[in-house]
Amino acid sequence: MVQNKLVKHMNQQFDVFNWINFEFEIDDEEPVYTSGVVCTLLEIPVWVLKQLDRGNIVSPYRRGGKSRLYSKKDLVKLKYVWYLMEIKEVNVSGVRVILEIEEKIYSKQNMDKKSSPKVKRLEFNKNKRRIKI
């Protein structure tokens, strides 16, 4: 009887159900996932994470100089890198080259989007043999 009154009182003072089912957002850049959690979520061996860190493909945040912490952005990149390594059988050096090429393509596309809305025309003057832009 006393227990029921206590539970009823607690429910009135603090809605336990809402407290348990609360939601929060984690920024994509916030390093919160440990290497163990990343290995479990993405099914990647720990040695791969260490190898990718050594190869500067994914550089996690270091807490206290030892433990690695990964962000959501890192998880997405790791998933793609693991796909390249496991399914496409690309080694770490090959992954680095692929990522560099993709970065160049992505930055070029962004530069094209930022350029003026005018379409540039190339004209060739036959007499002067010059190209006008």
Each residue's pLDDT tens digit, 83-119: 999 999 999 999 999 999 999 998 888 877 766 555 4
Q: Is 83 helix (H, G, I), strand (E, B) or coil?
A: helix
Domain ranges within the chain, ordered by starting residue: 24-132
Separation in Å, CA 17 to CA 9, 10, 13, 20, 34: 14, 11, 12, 5, 29
- Fold for domain 24-132? Multidrug-efflux Transporter Regulator; Chain: A; Domain 2 (1.10.1660)
Q: Tokens standing for 50? A: 């260490």
- What one-character DSSP code corresponds to residue 90? -
pTM of the model as a whole:
0.67
16-57 pLDDT, tens digit per residue, is 555 566 677 889 999 999 999 999 999 999 999 999 999 999
